[in-house]
A and B are shown apart, each in its own frame.
Chain A
Amino acid sequence: MGSRRPGRLISRFIALIYVAVLVLVPLIVITWKTVRPGPSAFWSAISSEQAVTAFRLTAEIALAAVALNTVFGVGLALLIARYRFPGRRLLSALADLPISVSPIVVGLALVLVYGPVDGWFGKGLHDAGIDIIFAVPGMILATTFVSLPLILRELVPVLLEAGTEQEQAARVLGANARQRFVRITVPIIRPALMYGIVLSLARSIGEFGAVLVVSGNVSGAGQTQTVPLLVSERVQQLEPGSYQLAFLLIMVTVLAIVLVSLRRERSGSREPGPNEGALDDLTGGGVAPAVPAQPAGVAPSDSHTIALDKDGPR
């Protein structure tokens, strides 16, 4: 539909310049600063003992966090999407809360409860020999906290959309609860789950602020230094090798984004027609910023509560 030629070009121009200046230029600069010192510098930056320890620790923490969030994410998603109980909306909001909380606040919160000195539970745990803060468990908790909603929010809309008909059909055919879950529910949520796991993994690998507070930032010792923390140390101590590590993390991020966008494209065409907006309604939602956004915030169930409020004999 004829929009003014020059207007369209100007908009395109402004938009592209904005993205280029804000994102492209910095990425190019970083790539250049990584590549310039040469491959041997790159190798020594990522193969030092400290770096390798950091990689291992980051992987350990990230996988643990993602595993926890997957288990609880699936469970909570099923509860929120499939059941009605008082406080359901509150629960959903609570599970969504972590997205809006500053990472420093997250770290502080965990320290206050699980810290060894006067944490609410931490003191008792410390006396019993269990260290959470300033140790790996605390870092896992912090990482789990910040990526908590990512999986959950991908699953709830899918579950709401799919309804329970398929499970009911399976039940009538004789499947028990475990079989229904494995054979029916899991395939339904699998794409969204994969999506959420990738997002969650990328987030967990990259978490900085919360882990910083909770780790006590004991540098050099390496027991509680993840890759982001190492990057920070190298920069602030003016040591070499920060760019190379950062570059690696950027690659991981880009990989995650590419994977996730491929999935998005496969499950619902994103291409609008030549002149028109897409005829397909991707998100199934009108004005509510529901499904695909990583950044979206609020309890996704809210826009769908209407469906669950119907009461009726059947």
Chain B
Amino acid sequence: MSIEVDSVRKQFGSFVALDEVSLTVADGRLTALLGPSGGGKSTLLRIIGGLEQPDAGSVRINGHDATRVPPQRRNVGFVFQHYAAFKHLTVYRNVAFGLEIRKRPKAEIRERVHELLALVHLEQFADRLPEQLSGGQRQRMALARALAVEPSVLLLDEPFGALDAQVRKELRDWLRRLHDEVHVTTIFVTHDQEEALEVADELVVINAGRIEQVGTPADVYDKPASDFVMSFLGPVTRFEGRLVRPHDLEIFTVDTPDTVSAEIVGLQRIGFEVRVTLSAGAEQSWAQITRGQSEALGLTAGSRVWVRAPR
């Protein structure tokens, strides 16, 4: 189930959320929409899901124009940041909801719900109410609920944003494995670049209503299309007037070809890494090296070193 977004524009009052955004999501991939808050990624997701209408442009799902089709008929699964659980229904009834709407026979519903509850490891909670579940469990229920109706696309809006760091990591891995098993075209929105880099097959970086770059995690990280993408995806520092990754800076204690001379202004140990703050003329940069490297070079604050940036 491929998705084509073509020149979509969306405005809220005078605020332009999406500005001529076009995107193609290939079938069966796990795609991340990554970007800062307010950048338009949730809006884009909701437009794809039919929860918002674009002011201009179109959305095609599997070749059919779905722009004005209500969410009821798009057959998309949507998972919300705050779970959107049906508070008054048990976990079982929550997951069964979509199937009940489609008037499937009871026996079929029962089988499918139990299958899904097993998939998300919530079988023993079938008769509980959502409020009796933890955040992570509620989100797994929400996923099971969305998958119950066999959607052609699964959309997740910052699905782990409301969860603790630990639970977030676990669910992140779990989502990846789930996708590998189930193979539904999946798009998820996140502002956490680590999450996107870890989970997605493809990254779409969105900022201020525009797509900055589309590519695999490696592409986007190693060959960022703009300064923004580079800064957003990982740590950056300014060196010789351009942005580089701090861990790409090499430090030498003797003059070496292709280096610039700098003074060590600060030396900070953070865990097993060492942050070396350097001053070269008017510019200040920082390099990231391991503790081992720092000790091997015998770096001290105030000493003079030579720094090389990658080409």
Q: Which residue of A lies closest to B68 (CB)?
A: A2
Interface residues of B, Cβ cutoff 8 Å to A: 12, 51, 53, 70-71
Residues of chain B lying within 8 A (CB to CB) of residue A1: 51
5 contacts between A and B (CB under 8 A): A1-B51, A2-B53, A2-B70, A2-B71, A274-B12
Output the least CB separation between A219 and chain B (Å): 57
Residues of chain A lying within 8 A (CB to CB) of residue B53: 2
A200 CA / B303 CA spacing, docked (Å): 78
Q: Which residue of A lies closest to B72 (CB)?
A: A2
Residues of chain B lying within 8 A (CB to CB) of residue A274: 12
Interface residues of A, Cβ cutoff 8 Å to B: 1-2, 274
Q: Which residue of A lies closest to B70 (CB)?
A: A2
Q: Which residue of B lies closest to A275 (CB)?
A: B52
A150 CA / B12 CA spacing, docked (Å): 42
A2 CA / B74 CA spacing, docked (Å): 14
Q: Which residue of A lies closest to B13 (CB)?
A: A274
Residues of chain A lying within 8 A (CB to CB) of residue B71: 2
Q: 5 tightest A-B contacts by CB?
A: A2-B70, A1-B51, A2-B53, A274-B12, A2-B71
Residues of chain B lying within 8 A (CB to CB) of residue A2: 53, 70-71
Q: Which residue of B lies closest to A274 (CB)?
A: B12
Q: Which residue of A lies closest to B53 (CB)?
A: A2
A2 CA / B52 CA spacing, docked (Å): 8
A2 CA / B53 CA spacing, docked (Å): 9
A233 CA / B70 CA spacing, docked (Å): 61
A274 CA / B12 CA spacing, docked (Å): 10
Q: Which residue of B lies closest to A286 (CB)?
A: B87
A49 CA / B137 CA spacing, docked (Å): 74
Residues of chain A lying within 8 A (CB to CB) of residue B70: 2
Residues of chain A lying within 8 A (CB to CB) of residue B12: 274
Output the least CB separation between A84 and chain B (Å): 27
Q: Which residue of A lies closest to B71 (CB)?
A: A2
Output the least CB separation between A5 and chain B (Å): 11
Output the least CB separation between A151 and chain B (Å): 34
Output the least CB separation between A275 and chain B (Å): 8
A2 CA / B71 CA spacing, docked (Å): 9
A1 CA / B71 CA spacing, docked (Å): 10
Q: Which residue of B lies closest to A4 (CB)?
A: B70
Q: Which residue of A lies closest to B46 (CB)?
A: A1
Q: Which residue of B lies closest to A1 (CB)?
A: B51
Residues of chain A lying within 8 A (CB to CB) of residue B51: 1
Output the least CB separation between B49 and chain A (Å): 11
A274 CA / B70 CA spacing, docked (Å): 18
A1 CA / B70 CA spacing, docked (Å): 10
A2 CA / B51 CA spacing, docked (Å): 7
A274 CA / B53 CA spacing, docked (Å): 13
